[in-house]
C-alpha cells in the first residue's frame, strides 16, 4: 500500500450519460487505497472560486450514482480559462487562479473527465502548474481517435436507435419521409451507428458528400417496390448542397449546429413531392440512464485512472484498445481526432445493405 493521497475529480465539457458512474468507480477504487476523493464543482470554475468549490465524496454516498444521468459535479463547455470572458466583455487569462486552487486544496493528483477540447485545456494547466493529471475520455461524439470507446457514446447511439425504431412505425403508417437529425459535431459516428442499427434507408454524414438526386433516387426505387415511407438519419454537421454549415446562433453569439434536418425536408419535398417530417433529437442523446456498456466502460476507466495515480503515471489518459484498458500520453490522445472512415467497416456495411449514403 502506497502513501496516502487526496485526489480531485472534475467533469468538463458537455455532459453525457455515464459521468456519474465514472465518479462512483473512482471513489470506490480510491477507497481501496484509503485515499480521499474531492469532487471539484463546475469543472475548472470550482478551482477558480475562493474558497475552491469542492465536495468530499464518500464511498457510502455514491452508490446511487451508477444509473444517474448528468454529472453531480456540474460541468461547462464554455469559458476557456486562458481567455476567460469577464463581465466587462474583456478576456482574461485565469489559469494561475485554477492552478493555485488545486494547490490550496492540497491535492496530490486530479482526474479530468472530458473530451478532446477539455483535456487539451486541462493538460495545459497541468504542464503550467505542476498538476498531476490523469484523463478519462467522455463524449457522445466518440471523436477521440486513440480510444475505441468514450463514455456516453453508446447511450447516445441507443437513444438514437430507439428514436428510429419509434419513427419507423409512424413513417410506415402515414407513408412519410421521416428525417432524424442527430448530434456528433464534425463526426458522423452516432449517425452511422444508429442508422445501421435502426434500419435507416438513408444515412448522411459529414465525411461523405451527398447529392439530392441520389436521395430522391432512393425514394423512387423504394416507391417502385411498394415501400412508401423512408427513414433518413442526418448528422448535425452535414452541410447544405453548396457546402454551407447549418447553424443557429445562441444569445452569446456562439453558433451551434442545428437545422440540416429541416433544410433536407424542404429539398426532398421539392424534388420528390414526398410528405416529410423532422425530429431533431438534440440533448435527449446526452441525458438519461447510461447503457450497460457505458456503465461497464465507466467502471473500467474509473478503476484504471485511480491505478495510474497509484503508479504516479501522470499526464496519461485511460483508453479502450483491443478489448483492454490501456493508458496513453494525453498529448497523443488529443492529437488524434477521429471521424468516420469512408472506407471503413461501417460504411461498407451500410453500402452492403443498400443504405443510401447520399453519394
Write the burial class of residue 238 (CB in 10 Å: 0-12 exposed, 13-18 middle, 19+ buried).
Answer: buried
- The total of other beta-carbon atoms located within 10 Å of residue 332's CB is 13
Q: Which is nearer to ligand F6P, 298 or 304 (CB)?
A: 298
218 belongs to the binding site for ligand F6P (CB under 6 A): no
Strands 109-114 and 133-137, bridge-based pairing: parallel
Write the burial class of residue 248 (CB in 10 Å: 0-12 exposed, 13-18 middle, 19+ buried).
Answer: exposed
Q: Which is nearer to ligand F6P, 50 or 256 (CB)?
A: 256
Total of residues contacting ligand F6P (CB under 6 A): 12
CB of 223 to ligand F6P, least distance (A): 33
Show the site string, 58-97: x = touches ligand F6P by CB under 6 A, - = not: -------------------x--------------------
Q: Which is nearer to ligand F6P, 154 or 236 (CB)?
A: 236
CB of 347 to ligand F6P, least distance (A): 20
185 belongs to the binding site for ligand F6P (CB under 6 A): yes
Radius of gyration, CA atoms only, the chain: 22
Write the burial class of residue 225 (CB in 10 Å: 0-12 exposed, 13-18 middle, 19+ buried).
Answer: exposed
Q: Which is nearer to ligand F6P, 16 or 131 (CB)?
A: 16
Which grid cell sits at 127? Answer: 504542464
CB of 36 to ligand F6P, least distance (A): 31
Residues in 99-158 that interact with ligand F6P by CB under 6 A:
139-141
Q: How many helices (H) and strands (E) does the chain have?
A: 11, 15
In the complex, the residues that contact ligand F6P under the rule CB under 6 A are 14, 77, 139-141, 183-185, 236, 256-257, 286
Amino acid at each position: 500500500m502506497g502513501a496516502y493521497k487526496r485526489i480531485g475529480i472534475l467533469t468538463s465539457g458537455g455532459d453525457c450519460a455515464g459521468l456519474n458512474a465514472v465518479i462512483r468507480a473512482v471513489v470506490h477504487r480510491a477507497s481501496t487505497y484509503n485515499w480521499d476523493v474531492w469532487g471539484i464543482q463546475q469543472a475548472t470554475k470550482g478551482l477558480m472560486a475562493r474558497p475552491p468549490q469542492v465536495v468530499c465524496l464518500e464511498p457510502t454516498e455514491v452508490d446511487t450514482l451508477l444509473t444517474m444521468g448528468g454529472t453531480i459535479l456540474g460541468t461547462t463547455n464554455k469559458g476557456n480559462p486562458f481567455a476567460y470572458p469577464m463581465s466587462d466583455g474583456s478576456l482574461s487569462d485565469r489559469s494561475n487562479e485554477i492552478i493555485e486552487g488545486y494547490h490550496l486544496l492540497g491535492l496530490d493528483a486530479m482526474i479530468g473527465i472530458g473530451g478532446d477540447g477539455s483535456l487539451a485545456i486541462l493538460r495545459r494547466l497541468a504542464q503550467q502548474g505542476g498538476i498531476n493529471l490523469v484523463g478519462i475520455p467522455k463524449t457522445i461524439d466518440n471523436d477521440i481517435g486513440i480510444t475505441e470507446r468514450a463514455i456516453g457514446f453508446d447511450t447516445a447511439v441507443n437513444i438514437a436507435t430507439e428514436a428510429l425504431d419509434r419513427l419507423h412505425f409512424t413513417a410506415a403508417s402515414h407513408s412519410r419521409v421521416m428525417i432524424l437529425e442527430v448530434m456528433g459535431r464534425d463526426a458522423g459516428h452516432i449517425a452511422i451507428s444508429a442508422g445501421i442499427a435502426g434500419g435507416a434507408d438513408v444515412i448522411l454524414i459529414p465525411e461523405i458528400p451527398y447529392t439530392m438526386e441520389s436521395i430522391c433516387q432512393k425514394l423512387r426505387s423504394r416507391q417502385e417496390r411498394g415501400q412508401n415511407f423512408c427513414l433518413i438519419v442526418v448528422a448535425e454537421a452535414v452541410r447544405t448542397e453548396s457546402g454551407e454549415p447549418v447553424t443557429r446562433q445562441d444569445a452569446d453569439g456562439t453558433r451551434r449546429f442545428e437545422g440540416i434536418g429541416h433544410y433536407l425536408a424542404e429539398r426532398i419535398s421539392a424534388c420528390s413531392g414526398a410528405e416529410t417530417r423532422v425530429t431533431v433529437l438534440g440533448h435527449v442523446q446526452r441525458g438519461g440512464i447510461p447503457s450497460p456498456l457505458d456503465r461497464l466502460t465507466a467502471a473500467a476507466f474509473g478503476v484504471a485512472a485511480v491505478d495510474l495515480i497509484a503508479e504516479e503515471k501522470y499526464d496519461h489518459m485511460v483508453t479502450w484498445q483491443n478489448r483492454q484498458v490501456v493508458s496513453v500520453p494525453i498529448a497523443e490522445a488529443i492529437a488524434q481526432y477521429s471521424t468516420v472512415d469512408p472506407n471503413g467497416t461501417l460504411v461498407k456495411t451500410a453500402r452492403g445493405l443498400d443504405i443510401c449514403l447520399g453519394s
